[in-house]
Amino acid sequence: MSGKTYQIALIPGDGTGPEVVREGVKVLQAAGEKFGFKMEFASFDFGGDRFLRTGEVLPDAAVLEFKKFDAIFLGAIGHPDVKPGILEKGILLRLRFELDQYINLRPVKLYPGVETPLKDKGPEDIDYVVVRENSGDCYTGIGGVSMKGTADEVAVQNMVYTRSQVERCLRYAFECTRKRARKKTLALCGKTNVLTYVYDLWERAFHEIGARDYPDIRREYYHVDATCMWMVKNPEWFDVIVTGNMFGDIITDLGAITQGGMGIAAGGNINPAGVSMFEPIGGSAPKYTGKNVINPLAAVCSGMMMLEHLGEEKAARSIERSVIFVTGKKLKSLAAGKMGYSTSEVGDLVAKNLT
Ligand code: IPM
Ligand code: MN
């Protein structure tokens, strides 16, 4: 019983975002009642509809206001009537950058009863965490274009990393590996055979920090292409994978499908010393919007990660047990419209079965 009250900013966002956030909030509130803490929610309507109505993506004042919260809980960003990039860059990426959420933590964990496309693999084989660097790489927007529209058009988008950015991410990943009771193995995923500046920096920092400060953690290195192969063929090899922003984006979609897909995959944008933001990995799923058929478990699991981050470990484990019960004993499938239950019923099931 922490007795604490947490101030949480909600950004339900676009498409099915509001529907899944509602269920996440339901479960968080139930967990709070059971474990003796309170959550107070303030909702913000940033997203495609507001942009289309007002032309405003995310005002500067809002970014400042978010800094006052204990955490942010986000549904989905992306609208079919808005050109790709505007909302993603203007809301999601802007918050990640301005709140310096330099870690994107994405667990890949197959729960019992959930179908995986990986042949002959079960929950004991698929249980690792991807620590995706979340502040640098091709995401910084550094680059440019010239002679646009001509046959000589040149487009550059740079992969950018500083030593300190790489170091803080690696340290977080080593600490994360130390806390897990699995294999005490940290794998660096890179591309040292081609990206001989950027991933050479990562690799040197990885071994230097590891040898000096984390001798108890085993270090492995995989090229990103091989990582994809082993994530499919031998996922049981992995405990924690650390990688840059771009590779991390790509391999976590692959990871998500091996754990049952976008209906369950959750993530946290973490600033260990600031305000972190939790979100399902999946998008806004416009075709399912408003139908009460989307799977809210990814949002529920993001809420669970938020509690873990806030120090409400017991409540987080309780949510996880309930999710395992629901996926294992209740749902027919994790796919939207095929669960055997509606979105709100799945939220009810998790909330009622907290133990
Ligand atoms: C993700 C998404 C985002 C990213 C997009 C929407 C900008 O794909 O969170 O993985 O590339 O990081
Ligand atoms: Mn992605």
Percent of the chain scoring above 70 in pLDDT:
100
Q: Are residues 38 and 156 in the same domain?
A: no
Same domain, 139 and 228: yes
- Domain end, chosen from 259, 293, 319, is at 259
Ligand 1 pocket by Cβ (under 6 Å): 88, 92-93, 249
Token pair of 253 as six digits: 């979609």
Are both 121 and 254 inside the same structural domain?
Answer: yes
Residue 266 forms part of a structural domain: no
Do residues 125 and 196 share a domain? Answer: yes
For 187-229, the pLDDT digits (tens) are: 999 999 999 999 999 999 999 999 999 999 999 999 999 999 9
Question: Would you give the end-to-end CA distance of the chain in angstroms?
Answer: 15
* 292 is a domain residue: yes
Residue 110 predicted with pLDDT over 70:
yes
- Rounded Cα–Cα distance for residues 84 and 211 (Å): 43
Residue 142 lies in a domain: yes
Domain boundary among 259, 293, 310: 259
Mean pLDDT calculated for residue range 41-59? 97
Query: Confidence band (pLDDT; 50, 70, 90) for 152?
Result: very high
User: Per the domain annotation, does 241 fall within a domain?
Assistant: yes
* Residue 57 confidence (pLDDT) above 90: yes
Both 91 and 23 in a single domain? yes
Same domain, 321 and 203: no
Show Cβ contacts of residue 26 under 8 Å, excluding neighbours closer than 6 positions: 347, 348, 351
Together in a domain, 142 and 77: no
Distance from Cα 95 to the centre of ligand 2, integer Å: 16
Residue 348: count of CB within 10 angstroms of its CB: 17
DSSP 92: I
Catalytic residue set: 139, 191, 225, 249, 253
Residue 137 lies in a domain: yes
Model confidence pLDDT, tens digit, residues 290-299: 999 999 999 9
**pLDDT at residue 248 is higher than 90:** yes
- Does 101 share its domain with 120? no
- 2: confidence class by pLDDT, cuts 50, 70, 90: confident
Residue nearest to atom 7 of ligand 1 (CA): 88
Looking at every residue in the chain, the average pLDDT score rounds to 97
Number of domains in the chain: 2
User: Is the pLDDT at 320 greater than 70, yes or no?
Assistant: yes
Q: Are residues 134 and 216 in the same domain?
A: yes
| CB 70, CB 28: distance < 8 Å | no
Question: Does residue 310 share a domain with residue 176?
Answer: no
**C-alpha to C-alpha distance for 99 and 278, rounded to whole angstroms:** 13
Q: Which residue's alpha carbon is nearest to atom 5 within ligand 1?
A: 88
Q: Are strands 240-243 and 127-133 parallel, antiparallel or unpaired?
A: parallel
Q: Whose CA is nearest to atom 11 of ligand 1?
A: 249
Instruction: Indicate whether 269 belongs to any domain.
Output: no
Q: Are residues 120 and 246 in the same domain?
A: yes
Structural domain of 339: 1-105+275-355
For residue 267, which atom of ligand 1 is closest to its CA?
9
Domain membership flag for residue 173: yes
- Looking at residue 1, its pLDDT comes to 61
Of 259, 284, 300, the domain-final residue: 259
CATH number at residue 320: 3.40.718.10
Name the pLDDT band for 181 (thresholds 50, 70, 90): confident
CA of 283 to the centre of ligand 2 (A): 9
Average pLDDT over residues 274-278: 98
* pLDDT confidence of residue 226: 98
From 103, 249, 269, give the residue whose CB has the most ligand 1 atoms within 8 Å, as the site to mutate. 249
* Residues 86 and 150 occupy one common structural domain: no
